[in-house]
Amino acid sequence: VALEDALRGALAREQLQLHYQPQVDHQGALVGVEALVRWQRADGQTVAPAQFIPLAEQTDLILPLGHWVLTTACRQLAAWAGQPRWQRLAMAVNVSARQFHHDGFVDQVLQVLEQTGAPAERLKLELTESILITHIDEVASKMAALKARGVGFSLDDFGTGYSSLAYLKRLPLDQLKIDQGFVRNVLTDANDAAIARMVIALADTLGLQVIAEGVEQAGQRDFLAHHGCQLYQGYWFGRPMPLAALQDWVAQHD
Protein backbone atom coordinates (compact mmCIF):
# COMPACT_ATOMS: atom_id res chain seq x y z
CA VAL A 1 0.00 0.00 0.00
CA ALA A 2 2.88 2.39 0.75
CA LEU A 3 4.35 1.79 -2.69
CA GLU A 4 0.93 2.18 -4.25
CA ASP A 5 0.38 5.58 -2.60
CA ALA A 6 3.86 6.67 -3.59
CA LEU A 7 3.20 5.67 -7.19
CA ARG A 8 -0.07 7.57 -7.17
CA GLY A 9 1.85 10.61 -5.94
CA ALA A 10 4.55 10.13 -8.55
CA LEU A 11 1.96 10.19 -11.26
CA ALA A 12 0.48 13.40 -9.89
CA ARG A 13 3.88 15.05 -9.44
CA GLU A 14 5.30 14.00 -12.80
CA GLN A 15 8.09 11.90 -11.35
CA LEU A 16 7.74 9.42 -14.16
CA GLN A 17 9.91 9.52 -17.25
CA LEU A 18 10.01 7.65 -20.49
CA HIS A 19 13.20 6.08 -21.70
CA TYR A 20 13.56 5.02 -25.31
CA GLN A 21 15.36 1.90 -26.51
CA PRO A 22 16.55 1.77 -30.15
CA GLN A 23 15.12 -0.75 -32.59
CA VAL A 24 17.36 -1.26 -35.63
CA ASP A 25 17.23 -2.93 -39.02
CA HIS A 26 19.67 -5.21 -40.82
CA GLN A 27 22.12 -2.38 -41.44
CA GLY A 28 21.92 -1.22 -37.84
CA ALA A 29 19.90 1.85 -38.83
CA LEU A 30 17.42 3.16 -36.30
CA VAL A 31 13.83 2.35 -37.35
CA GLY A 32 12.01 2.88 -34.09
CA VAL A 33 12.13 2.94 -30.32
CA GLU A 34 10.35 1.18 -27.49
CA ALA A 35 9.10 3.54 -24.79
CA LEU A 36 9.81 2.19 -21.29
CA VAL A 37 8.60 3.94 -18.18
CA ARG A 38 10.96 4.87 -15.32
CA TRP A 39 10.11 6.14 -11.86
CA GLN A 40 12.61 8.46 -10.22
CA ARG A 41 11.60 8.98 -6.59
CA ALA A 42 12.09 12.32 -4.85
CA ASP A 43 15.09 10.86 -2.93
CA GLY A 44 16.73 10.09 -6.26
CA GLN A 45 16.11 6.37 -5.97
CA THR A 46 14.86 4.68 -9.13
CA VAL A 47 12.13 2.08 -8.89
CA ALA A 48 12.25 -0.52 -11.63
CA PRO A 49 9.10 -1.05 -13.70
CA ALA A 50 9.31 -4.77 -12.92
CA GLN A 51 8.47 -3.68 -9.38
CA PHE A 52 5.75 -1.12 -9.95
CA ILE A 53 4.04 -2.21 -13.18
CA PRO A 54 2.70 -5.45 -11.65
CA LEU A 55 1.53 -3.44 -8.65
CA ALA A 56 -0.18 -0.89 -10.88
CA GLU A 57 -1.79 -3.76 -12.77
CA GLN A 58 -3.34 -5.11 -9.58
CA THR A 59 -5.10 -1.81 -9.03
CA ASP A 60 -6.72 0.60 -11.43
CA LEU A 61 -3.57 2.73 -11.22
CA ILE A 62 -2.47 1.13 -14.47
CA LEU A 63 -5.20 3.16 -16.20
CA PRO A 64 -3.87 6.66 -15.43
CA LEU A 65 -0.31 5.34 -15.68
CA GLY A 66 -1.00 3.81 -19.09
CA HIS A 67 -2.67 7.03 -20.19
CA TRP A 68 0.36 9.05 -19.09
CA VAL A 69 2.74 6.73 -20.97
CA LEU A 70 0.65 6.83 -24.13
CA THR A 71 0.26 10.61 -24.02
CA THR A 72 3.95 11.22 -23.36
CA ALA A 73 5.03 8.81 -26.11
CA CYS A 74 2.58 10.31 -28.60
CA ARG A 75 3.69 13.85 -27.80
CA GLN A 76 7.21 12.77 -28.63
CA LEU A 77 6.05 11.11 -31.81
CA ALA A 78 4.25 14.30 -32.83
CA ALA A 79 7.38 16.36 -32.10
CA TRP A 80 9.39 14.10 -34.42
CA ALA A 81 6.91 14.46 -37.29
CA GLY A 82 8.57 17.46 -38.90
CA GLN A 83 12.18 16.31 -38.46
CA PRO A 84 13.69 14.39 -41.37
CA ARG A 85 15.87 12.01 -39.34
CA TRP A 86 13.08 11.27 -36.87
CA GLN A 87 9.80 11.41 -38.72
CA ARG A 88 9.85 7.81 -39.93
CA LEU A 89 10.57 6.21 -36.57
CA ALA A 90 8.00 3.93 -35.01
CA MET A 91 7.11 4.37 -31.35
CA ALA A 92 6.35 1.09 -29.55
CA VAL A 93 4.29 1.42 -26.38
CA ASN A 94 3.57 -1.41 -23.93
CA VAL A 95 -0.05 -1.97 -23.07
CA SER A 96 -1.07 -3.99 -20.03
CA ALA A 97 -3.94 -6.45 -20.01
CA ARG A 98 -6.12 -4.42 -17.67
CA GLN A 99 -5.57 -1.32 -19.74
CA PHE A 100 -6.43 -3.05 -23.01
CA HIS A 101 -9.55 -4.74 -21.61
CA HIS A 102 -10.87 -1.53 -20.12
CA ASP A 103 -14.02 -0.32 -21.90
CA GLY A 104 -12.62 3.03 -22.88
CA PHE A 105 -9.32 1.80 -24.34
CA VAL A 106 -9.99 2.36 -28.05
CA ASP A 107 -11.45 5.80 -27.46
CA GLN A 108 -8.56 6.69 -25.18
CA VAL A 109 -5.97 5.84 -27.84
CA LEU A 110 -7.87 7.73 -30.54
CA GLN A 111 -8.28 10.71 -28.25
CA VAL A 112 -4.56 10.78 -27.39
CA LEU A 113 -3.68 10.61 -31.07
CA GLU A 114 -5.97 13.50 -31.81
CA GLN A 115 -4.86 15.61 -28.85
CA THR A 116 -1.17 15.16 -29.55
CA GLY A 117 -1.33 15.15 -33.32
CA ALA A 118 0.85 12.04 -33.44
CA PRO A 119 0.73 10.07 -36.71
CA ALA A 120 -1.19 6.85 -35.96
CA GLU A 121 0.85 4.91 -38.56
CA ARG A 122 3.96 5.37 -36.42
CA LEU A 123 2.39 4.14 -33.19
CA LYS A 124 2.85 0.46 -32.40
CA LEU A 125 1.11 -1.05 -29.41
CA GLU A 126 2.89 -3.99 -27.76
CA LEU A 127 0.45 -6.58 -26.47
CA THR A 128 1.29 -9.72 -24.53
CA GLU A 129 -0.16 -13.15 -25.16
CA SER A 130 -2.05 -12.96 -21.87
CA ILE A 131 -4.15 -10.14 -23.36
CA LEU A 132 -5.08 -12.16 -26.40
CA ILE A 133 -6.19 -15.47 -24.97
CA THR A 134 -9.48 -14.40 -23.44
CA HIS A 135 -12.46 -12.64 -25.03
CA ILE A 136 -10.97 -13.03 -28.45
CA ASP A 137 -13.91 -11.41 -30.24
CA GLU A 138 -13.65 -8.30 -28.10
CA VAL A 139 -9.88 -8.24 -28.57
CA ALA A 140 -10.22 -8.63 -32.34
CA SER A 141 -12.75 -5.82 -32.63
CA LYS A 142 -10.69 -3.43 -30.49
CA MET A 143 -7.61 -4.17 -32.56
CA ALA A 144 -9.54 -3.77 -35.81
CA ALA A 145 -10.91 -0.38 -34.71
CA LEU A 146 -7.41 0.94 -34.02
CA LYS A 147 -5.91 -0.77 -37.03
CA ALA A 148 -8.45 1.02 -39.22
CA ARG A 149 -6.91 4.30 -38.05
CA GLY A 150 -3.42 3.08 -38.84
CA VAL A 151 -2.21 1.92 -35.43
CA GLY A 152 0.06 -1.16 -35.53
CA PHE A 153 0.37 -4.10 -33.13
CA SER A 154 3.34 -6.12 -31.96
CA LEU A 155 3.07 -9.32 -29.93
CA ASP A 156 5.54 -8.93 -27.05
CA ASP A 157 7.38 -11.77 -25.27
CA PHE A 158 6.18 -14.16 -27.93
CA GLY A 159 6.42 -17.81 -26.94
CA THR A 160 6.51 -17.29 -23.18
CA GLY A 161 2.76 -17.18 -22.64
CA TYR A 162 -0.01 -19.49 -23.62
CA SER A 163 1.14 -19.72 -27.20
CA SER A 164 -2.14 -20.70 -28.72
CA LEU A 165 -1.34 -20.27 -32.37
CA ALA A 166 -5.03 -19.99 -33.27
CA TYR A 167 -5.20 -16.30 -32.40
CA LEU A 168 -2.32 -15.42 -34.67
CA LYS A 169 -4.40 -15.75 -37.79
CA ARG A 170 -7.49 -14.15 -36.25
CA LEU A 171 -5.92 -10.96 -34.96
CA PRO A 172 -4.60 -8.08 -37.06
CA LEU A 173 -1.02 -8.21 -35.80
CA ASP A 174 1.90 -6.58 -37.60
CA GLN A 175 4.89 -7.95 -35.73
CA LEU A 176 6.09 -10.78 -33.48
CA LYS A 177 8.72 -10.04 -30.85
CA ILE A 178 11.05 -12.93 -30.08
CA ASP A 179 11.33 -12.97 -26.31
CA GLN A 180 14.72 -12.19 -24.81
CA GLY A 181 14.57 -15.48 -22.91
CA PHE A 182 15.10 -17.30 -26.21
CA VAL A 183 17.64 -14.81 -27.56
CA ARG A 184 19.84 -14.97 -24.45
CA ASN A 185 21.09 -18.52 -25.09
CA VAL A 186 20.46 -18.68 -28.79
CA LEU A 187 24.14 -19.51 -29.47
CA THR A 188 24.47 -22.17 -26.79
CA ASP A 189 21.09 -23.81 -26.31
CA ALA A 190 19.79 -25.85 -29.24
CA ASN A 191 16.20 -25.62 -28.04
CA ASP A 192 16.26 -21.84 -27.76
CA ALA A 193 17.86 -21.63 -31.20
CA ALA A 194 15.15 -23.87 -32.63
CA ILE A 195 12.40 -21.76 -31.04
CA ALA A 196 13.92 -18.51 -32.32
CA ARG A 197 14.11 -19.98 -35.83
CA MET A 198 10.55 -21.24 -35.52
CA VAL A 199 9.26 -17.78 -34.56
CA ILE A 200 11.11 -16.19 -37.50
CA ALA A 201 9.69 -18.80 -39.91
CA LEU A 202 6.21 -18.43 -38.44
CA ALA A 203 6.30 -14.65 -38.84
CA ASP A 204 7.43 -15.10 -42.42
CA THR A 205 4.62 -17.56 -43.14
CA LEU A 206 2.00 -15.29 -41.63
CA GLY A 207 3.36 -12.18 -43.36
CA LEU A 208 4.37 -10.51 -40.11
CA GLN A 209 7.47 -8.55 -39.22
CA VAL A 210 9.77 -10.12 -36.65
CA ILE A 211 11.97 -8.38 -34.11
CA ALA A 212 14.38 -9.99 -31.67
CA GLU A 213 14.68 -8.40 -28.25
CA GLY A 214 17.44 -8.74 -25.69
CA VAL A 215 20.25 -8.92 -28.26
CA GLU A 216 23.44 -8.41 -26.25
CA GLN A 217 26.11 -9.83 -28.54
CA ALA A 218 27.05 -9.49 -32.21
CA GLY A 219 26.96 -13.29 -32.49
CA GLN A 220 23.32 -13.41 -31.44
CA ARG A 221 22.44 -10.76 -34.00
CA ASP A 222 24.38 -12.61 -36.71
CA PHE A 223 22.72 -15.94 -35.92
CA LEU A 224 19.27 -14.38 -36.03
CA ALA A 225 20.07 -12.44 -39.21
CA HIS A 226 21.30 -15.65 -40.84
CA HIS A 227 17.92 -17.21 -40.11
CA GLY A 228 15.96 -14.32 -41.56
CA CYS A 229 15.31 -11.99 -38.65
CA GLN A 230 14.73 -8.40 -39.81
CA LEU A 231 14.77 -6.19 -36.76
CA TYR A 232 16.70 -6.08 -33.49
CA GLN A 233 16.57 -4.52 -30.06
CA GLY A 234 18.93 -5.02 -27.15
CA TYR A 235 21.88 -3.74 -25.18
CA TRP A 236 24.22 -4.57 -28.08
CA PHE A 237 22.62 -1.71 -30.00
CA GLY A 238 21.52 0.54 -27.18
CA ARG A 239 19.97 0.53 -23.73
CA PRO A 240 16.75 2.26 -22.86
CA MET A 241 17.80 5.92 -22.47
CA PRO A 242 16.39 9.39 -21.93
CA LEU A 243 15.60 11.46 -24.99
CA ALA A 244 18.80 13.52 -24.85
CA ALA A 245 20.91 10.36 -24.84
CA LEU A 246 18.91 8.97 -27.75
CA GLN A 247 19.72 12.12 -29.71
CA ASP A 248 23.43 11.58 -28.98
CA TRP A 249 23.07 7.93 -29.97
CA VAL A 250 21.57 8.93 -33.32
CA ALA A 251 24.29 11.54 -33.90
CA GLN A 252 26.95 8.88 -33.31
CA HIS A 253 25.29 6.25 -35.48
CA ASP A 254 24.55 8.31 -38.57
Rule CB under 6 A: say whether 213 interacts with ligand G: yes
First to last CA, the chain: 46
Give me the count of residues in the chain: 254
Q: Which of 157, 167, 223, 237 binds Na ion (CB under 5 A)?
A: 157
Give the DSSP H/E element, type plus range, for residue 200: helix 190-206
- How many angstroms separate the CA atoms of 214 and 87, rounded? 25
Binder of residue 129, out of Mn ion, ligand G, Na ion, none (CB less than 5 to 8 A by kind): none
CA proximity to 72, closest of 106, 37, 44: 37
In angstroms, what is the minimal distance from the CB of 184 to Na ion?
A: 12
Q: How many CA atoms lie within 13 A of 216 on its CB side?
A: 10
User: Which residue lies nearer to ligand G by CB, 130 or 180?
Assistant: 180
Smallest gap from residue 128 Cβ to ligand G (A): 8
Residue 240 touches which member of Mn ion, Na ion, ligand G, none, C-beta under 5-8 Å by kind: ligand G
Q: Does 179 bind Mn ion (CB under 5 A)?
A: no
To Na ion, the closest distance from the beta carbon of 177 in angstroms equals: 5
Q: What's the one-letter identity of residue 199? A: V
Round to whole Å and give the CA distance between 219 and 162.
29
In a 13 Å sphere around the CA of 40, the CA atoms on its Cβ side amount to 8
Which window, 4-12, 78-86, 202-210, 211-219, contacts ligand G (CB under 6 A)?
211-219
Residues of the shown chain interacting with Na ion in the complex, contacts defined by CB under 5 A: 156-157
Residues of the shown chain interacting with ligand G in the complex, contacts defined by CB under 6 A: 21, 36-37, 48-50, 53, 69, 94, 96, 156-157, 180, 213-216, 234-235, 240
